[in-house]
Structure 1
Amino acid sequence: MSSLGALIIVLAILMTIIGGETGIRSFFSVLINSLLLVLVAMLISWGLSIPIITAIFVPLKLATIIFLGTHDYTVAKNSFYASLIVLSLVSVLILGIQYLAQAAGLGPEAGEILLGHSQMPGISYGQIAVTVAIFSALGAVAEAAVSMSSGILELKKAKPDITEEQLMKSGAAIGYDVLGTAMNTIIYGMFGSFLSLFLWYYRLHYSFGEVINDKLFVNEALIIMYSLLGVLLTVPLATFLLAKGMSRQSEAKNGNEKTRDQEL
């Protein structure tokens, strides 16, 4: 058995012990999303339209991440809608910035690896860069949406009489903590994955101008910014959607109770 297979088994066992039914569903969510990413890569390599593939698989991956990884339907539904709206807005921004940055494609660091191979595979590097950026931001946005929705719903369950205004204020307080942890996770994840590249820059005596104009660095930095912006938009939007939805449910419930009392 390979090391990867052993780690997958250990992960499955621990998620089952700690999370129970939700842990099992989350584990299968990870597996399904990994298979979806492989399928996306295969479809792109076969020459299918990259924008169409992205438009199909973004909501599909969101649904898999959120609905399989969340035990409460209200949390899942609110998180899905908030994430989809935010990703739609961020996607427009990604299209504009990727066009202005012109950082798609292979950098000089890949020259030796690709020596003797064609660097023109017949697909658009620009469209691939947009798809990669959207999928990279997707995970951070979905995580922030689920965290906010879960916290607000638990608060509503603990205090059923809480007003919409109080719920929004409490959501803002929860959002500060979610923002802090999410941003640290994103930034330190970037430094962890790019440590070898930073060593490359240092040992080859790259100037500051060369670093900030390097394709690999620019693409990674842009992805970090998209993810941070997505989290920033998700926190207030998820709070607003869930607070409004709960207010409507409370009003409908009170209206039904008054109608029932009048009938009696």
Structure 2
Amino acid sequence: MSTLLALIIVLAILMTLVGGETGIRSFFSVLINTLLLILVAMLISWGVNIPIITLIFIPLKLVTIIYLGTHDYTVAKNSFIAALIVCLLVSVVILGGQWLAQAAGLGPEAGEVLVGLSQMPGLSYPMIAITVAIFSTLGAIAEAAVAMSSGLLELKKHNPMITKEELEASGTAIGNDVLGTAMNTILFGMFGSFLSLFLWYFRLGYTFGEIVNEKLFVNEALIIMYSLIGVLLTVPLSSLLLARGLGNSEVKNENGKSNPN
């Protein structure tokens, strides 16, 4: 048994013990998303139109992440709508950012690895960079949307008489905490995965200007910025959509009784 397989089994067991049915669904969500990413890579390598692939797989990945990761339909529905809108908005930002950065393709660090191989495989590196950036932001956006929707829905269940204005104000307070944790998670994730490369830069005597103009660093930093922008947009949008949506629906309290809003 390989180390990877053993860790997957441990992950499945822990998610089942901690999350029960939702944990099992979340585990399968991870597996399905992994298969979707592999399928995207295969389709791109086969020459399928990259923008079409991206547009098709954005909602597919969001559905997999959100609907398999939560047990409440109201939370899932609101989170999906908010995440999809934000993803479309962030995609526009990504298009502009990648065009201005001109950082697509392979950096000089990959030279030794690619010796003897063609660096012109007939694919559009800028479009691939855009697709990678969009897919990289989906997880952070979906997580923020679910966190906001879950918190506000629980608040509504425990206090059915809360007004729409109070719910939106509570969403702002919850959003401040979500923003703090989400941004720290994104930033520390970047530094954790990029630590060895940072050490390599410093050991080789890279100047600050060389680091901020290096393709690997620029691409990673841009993805972090896109994710942060996505989270910033998701928090208020999720609060607004759920607060307005709950005003025209019924929410079940802890005893299973419906309370009209």
The equivalent residue for 1:232 is: 232
Offset of residue 140 of structure 1: 0.1
The equivalent residue for 2:163 is: 163
Matches of 2:71 and 2:248, distance apart in 1: 22
The one-letter code matched in structure 2 to 1:20 is: G
Matches of 1:12 and 1:91, distance apart in 2: 33
Matches of 2:39 and 2:75, distance apart in 1: 28
SS at match of 2:206: coil
Alignment map for 1:67-86 (pairs within 5 Å)? 67-86=67-86
2:191 paired with 1:218: no
SS at match of 2:68: helix
SS at match of 1:160: coil
Structure 1 stretches of at least 4 aligned residues deviating more than 4 Å after TM superposition: none
Structure 1 gaps, min length 5: 251-256, 258-264
The equivalent residue for 2:103 is: 103
The equivalent residue for 1:132 is: 132
The equivalent residue for 2:175 is: 175
Structure 2 gaps, min length 5: 251-259
Matches of 1:219 and 1:10, distance apart in 2: 33
2:116 paired with 1:112: no
Offset of residue 97 of structure 1: 1.0
TM-score, scaled to structure 2:
0.95
Q: Deviations for 1:199-253, whole angstroms, at most 9, x for unmatched residues?
A: 1110110011101100110000000000000000000000000000001226xxx
The equivalent residue for 2:256 is: none
The equivalent residue for 2:16 is: 16
Matches of 1:80 and 1:50, distance apart in 2: 23
The one-letter code matched in structure 2 to 1:23 is: G
Q: Deviations for 1:15-50, whole angstroms, at most 9, x for unmatched residues?
A: 111111101100100000000000000000001000
Matches of 1:186 and 1:109, distance apart in 2: 25
Offset of residue 116 of structure 1: 1.1
Matches of 2:9 and 2:144, distance apart in 1: 27
TM-score, scaled to structure 1:
0.94
The equivalent residue for 1:94 is: 94
What is the aligned length? Answer: 251
The one-letter code matched in structure 2 to 1:248 is: N
Matches of 2:213 and 2:6, distance apart in 1: 41
Matches of 1:8 and 1:98, distance apart in 2: 35
Matches of 2:15 and 2:224, distance apart in 1: 28
Matches of 2:73 and 2:138, distance apart in 1: 20
Matches of 1:241 and 1:45, distance apart in 2: 39
Offset of residue 103 of structure 1: 0.4
Matches of 2:211 and 2:24, distance apart in 1: 43
Q: Deviations for 1:76-100, whole angstroms, at most 9, x for unmatched residues?
A: 0000000000000000010011011
Q: Deviations for 1:187-206, whole angstroms, at most 9, x for unmatched residues?
A: 00000111111011101100
Matches of 1:96 and 1:17, distance apart in 2: 44
The one-letter code matched in structure 2 to 1:178 is: V
The equivalent residue for 2:257 is: none
Q: Deviations for 1:111-135, whole angstroms, at most 9, x for unmatched residues?
A: 1111111100100000000000000
The equivalent residue for 2:254 is: none
SS at match of 1:69: coil
Matches of 2:209 and 2:16, distance apart in 1: 49
Offset of residue 74 of structure 1: 0.2
The one-letter code matched in structure 2 to 1:137 is: T
Matches of 1:96 and 1:6, distance apart in 2: 42
The one-letter code matched in structure 2 to 1:77 is: K
The one-letter code matched in structure 2 to 1:169 is: A
Alignment map for 1:186-205 (pairs within 5 Å)? 186-205=186-205
The equivalent residue for 2:33 is: 33
Matches of 2:187 and 2:14, distance apart in 1: 27
